[in-house]
Amino acid sequence: MIRHLLKISDFTKEECEKIIEKSIEIKANPEKYSESLKNKTLLMIFEKPSLRTRVSFETGMTQLGGHAIFYSIKDSPLGKKENIHDTAKCASRYVDLISARLFKRKDLWDLAKYSDVPVINMLDDFAHPCQILGDLQTIKEKKGTLNGLKISYFGDSHNNVTYDLMRAAAMFGLKMDVACPEGEAYEPEKEVLDEVEEISKQTGAEVRVVHDAKEAANNSDVVYTDSWMSYGIPAEQEEARKKVFMPFQVNSELMKSAKPDAVFMNCLPAKRGYEQTAEVIDGPQSIVFDQAENRLHIQKAIMLFLMNKF
Which chain residues interact with ligand NVA by CB under 6 A? 123, 159-161, 226-227, 230-231, 267
Q: 267: burial class by Cβ within 10 Å (0-12, 13-18, 19+)?
A: buried
Which conformational region is residue 133 in: left (phi greater than 0), alpha (psi within -120 to 50 degrees), or beta? alpha
Binding partner of residue 249 among ligand NVA, ligand CP, none, CB under 5 to 8 Å per kind? none
Shortest Å, Cβ 36 to ligand CP: 23
Interaction of residue 50 with ligand CP, rule CB under 6 A: yes
- Of 45-53, 113-121, 175-183, 208-216, the window that binds ligand CP (rule: CB under 6 A) is 45-53
Over the chain, what HEC string results? CCCCECCHHHCCHHHHHHHHHHHHHHHHCHHHHCCCCCCCEEEEEECCCCCHHHHHHHHHHHHCCCEEEEEEHHHCCECCCECHHHHHHHHHHHCCEEEEECCCHHHHHHHHHHCCCCEEECCCCCCCHHHHHHHHHHHHHHHCCCCCCEEEEECCCCCHHHHHHHHHHHHCCCEEEEECCCCCCCCCCHHHHHHHHHHHHHHCCEEEEECCHHHHHCCCCEEEECCCCCCCCCHHHHHHHHHHHHHHCECHHHHCCCCCCCEEEECCCCCECCCECHHHHCCCCECHHHHHHHHHHHHHHHHHHHCCCC
Give the residue, chosen from 7, 13, 22, 52, that forms a contact with ligand CP under the rule CB under 6 A.
52
Binding partner of residue 152 among ligand CP, ligand NVA, none, CB under 5 to 8 Å per kind? none
Interaction of residue 59 with ligand CP, rule CB under 6 A: no
Task: Tell me if residue 164 is catalytic.
Answer: no
Shortest Å, Cβ 230 to ligand NVA: 3
Pick out residues in 267-286 that bind ligand CP (CB under 6 A): 267-269
**Residue number with CB closer to ligand CP (69 or 268):** 268
Active-site residue, from 131, 137, 291, 299: 131
Active-site residue, from 267, 291, 297, 299: 267
Shortest Å, Cβ 232 to ligand NVA: 7
Interaction of residue 8 with ligand CP, rule CB under 6 A: no
**Residue number with CB closer to ligand CP (96 or 226):** 226
**Residue number with CB closer to ligand CP (78 or 161):** 161
- Of 67-75, 190-198, 261-269, 298-306, the window that binds ligand CP (rule: CB under 6 A) is 261-269
Task: Tell me if residue 202 is catalytic.
Answer: no
Task: Tell me if residue 4 is catalytic.
Answer: no
- By CB under 6 A, how many residues form the interface with ligand CP? 9
Which residues lie below 8 Å from residue 250, measured CB to CB, with a gap of 6+? 154, 155, 223, 225, 264, 275, 276, 277, 280
Give the residue, chosen from 36, 53, 276, 286, that forms a contact with ligand CP under the rule CB under 6 A.
53
Task: Tell me if residue 241 is catalytic.
Answer: no
**Residue number with CB closer to ligand NVA (177 or 275):** 275
Binding partner of residue 159 among ligand CP, ligand NVA, none, CB under 5 to 8 Å per kind? ligand NVA
Active-site residue, from 52, 241, 295, 297: 295
Backbone angles phi, psi at 271, to 5 degrees: -125, 115
Binding stretches for ligand CP (CB under 6 A): 50-53, 123, 131, 267-269
Q: Which residues are catalytic?
A: 101, 128, 131, 226, 267, 295
